[in-house]
Amino acid sequence: MDLKAAIRTIPDYPIAGIMFRDITTLLGDAKAFRQCVDALVAPFADQKIDKVAGIEARGFILGGAVAHQLSAGFIPLRKKGKLPHKTIAVEYALEYGVDSLEMHLDGCGAGERVLLIDDLIATGGTAVAALQLLRQAGAEVPAAAFVVDLPDLGGADKLRALNIDVSTLVSFGGH
């Protein structure tokens, strides 16, 4: 199955000029979803992964499935104020302003090997913040995996420059 064909493109969302890559169509197709999760897991099946960290919100769906397949725990990385227990946070720059990403203080421990998962890598701002957050907690992050790469925006290259092995399943040119 062609995973790229299972992803819906919505022009001019959320603003004019953006081609939004919507994976909900892929998630809704049982065969595509299974193939996607299997493909995300494959590069790490023979590695020791203690936990999978998923970035809110689609990273939760994918990360939970990947964690299950790898027999690993799951760490939710959320926007500020969404987690009920003590948290650690990292602020990161957006095009207009600042945002924050949090995880529970006990989400992972020093030396744990954590795989970072999300649906899409674009500019890399959120993924780099997630990496900083996990490293702040003492985790070793050997790799990050994404369904979609927008290589023209350079996010995957930013992670590679930080010594992260990046795997993606499909790529789309442009924004």
Give the pLDDT band of residue 134 (cuts 50, 70, 90).
very high
Give the pLDDT band of residue 46 (cuts 50, 70, 90).
very high
Residue 49 confidence (pLDDT) above 90: yes
Position 34 in a domain: no
Catalytic residue among 21, 58, 78, 102: 58
Read off the tokens for 99: 């945002």
Position 12 in a domain: no
Q: How do residues 68-124 score in pLDDT, each as one tens digit?
A: 999 999 999 999 999 999 999 999 987 677 899 999 999 999 999 999 999 999 999
Residue 15 confidence (pLDDT) above 80: yes
Position 69 in a domain: yes
* pLDDT at residue number 122: 93
Q: Which domain holds residue 152?
A: 47-171
Catalytic residue among 21, 34, 91, 95: 95
- Per the structure, how many domains does the chain have? 1
Position 42 in a domain: no
Q: Is the dihedral of CA 126, 24, 148, 67 positive or negative?
A: positive
Would you call 95 a catalytic residue per the annotation? Answer: yes
* pLDDT at residue number 129: 97
Read off the tokens for 75: 């760490």
For range 9-37, the mean pLDDT? 96
Position 144 in a domain: yes
Q: What's the whole-number average pLDDT of the chain?
A: 95
Position 1 in a domain: no
Give the pLDDT band of residue 142 (cuts 50, 70, 90).
very high
* pLDDT at residue number 95: 67
Cβ atoms of 83 and 102 closer than 8 Å: yes
148: CATH: 3.40.50.2020
* pLDDT at residue number 1: 84
Position 36 in a domain: no
Position 16 in a domain: no
Those residues whose C-beta lies under 8 Å from the C-beta of residue 172, and which sit 6 or more positions away, are 4, 9, 19, 21, 148, 149, 150
* C-alpha neighbours within 13 Å on the C-beta side of residue 152: 6
